[in-house]
């Protein structure tokens, strides 16, 4: 799939993470502020899941922190996915 031609309402600055199934189909992705699903729609309860001064500063462009989100399948479980994110309490 050519993702450069797909319109997304979610902006990306520096932070980007995504995960696909074993066939390469997109499951979901994140910019550190919001999590979107394979239909490029926001997941339930996935807006502002990462509160803090960095979130306030970078909203709505996505976090400007390298490797601030990591998405991995949970070992030993076929349907569980873990999303780790960096939370910055005091940014300045």
The mean pLDDT values, 10 residues at a time, for the chain of 92 residues are 62 83 89 84 76 76 81 89 78 53
31 CB-contact burial (10 Å; exposed 0-12 / middle 13-18 / buried 19+): buried
Measured CA to CA, the distance from residue 23 to residue 40 in angstroms comes to 18
Q: How many CB atoms lie within 10 A of CB 1?
A: 8
Alpha-helix runs per DSSP H in 1-92: 53-58
pTM: 0.74
Residue 45 pLDDT: 76
Measured CA to CA, the distance from residue 1 to residue 58 in angstroms comes to 29
């Amino acid at each position: 799939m050519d993702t450069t031609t797909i319109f997304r309402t979610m902006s990306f600055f520096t932070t980007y993470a995504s995960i696909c199934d074993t066939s390469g189909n997109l499951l979901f992705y994140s910019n550190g502020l919001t999590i979107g699903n394979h239909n490029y729609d926001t997941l339930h309860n996935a807006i502002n899941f990462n509160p803090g001064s960095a979130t306030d500063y970078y909203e709505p462009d996505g976090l400007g922190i390298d490797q601030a989100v990591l998405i991995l399948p949970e070992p030993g479980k076929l349907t569980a996915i873990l999303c780790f994110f960096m939370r910055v309490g005091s940014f300045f």
